[in-house]
Amino acid sequence: MADIILFFSSNADTMIATKALKDSGVTAKMIPKPAGVNSVSNLCLSLDGGLEAPAVAALKGANVNLGGVVK
């Protein structure tokens, strides 16, 4: 399945999200923000599209606000 990009409101949120996902068993790769993503943060997370639902659930459980998803 194609990769998706998760973006957040700050670099700190991106780093917190990385840890929350890792703790829940979801593998994500931190990447620079693509040009087409409208976010103040310059970091995003890339992960396999099949992991979107577990990733969103893990982020909600960790109280991390997701800025959006790019597919």
- What is the C-alpha to C-alpha distance for residues 65 and 7, in angstroms, rounded to an integer? 9
Residue 19: CATH number of its domain: 3.30.70.260
Predicted local distance difference test score (pLDDT) of residue 39: 81
**6-28: pLDDT as tens digits:** 999 999 999 999 999 999 999 99
**18-67: pLDDT as tens digits:** 999 999 999 999 999 988 888 888 999 999 999 999 999 999 999 999 99
Q: Is residue 25 classed as helix, strand or coil in its secondary structure?
A: coil
64 DSSP assignment: P
Predicted local distance difference test score (pLDDT) of residue 1: 63
Question: Domain range for residue 35?
Answer: 3-70
- What the block records as the tokens of 57 is 């659930």
Residue 5 has pLDDT above 90, yes or no: yes
Q: How many domains does the chain have?
A: 1
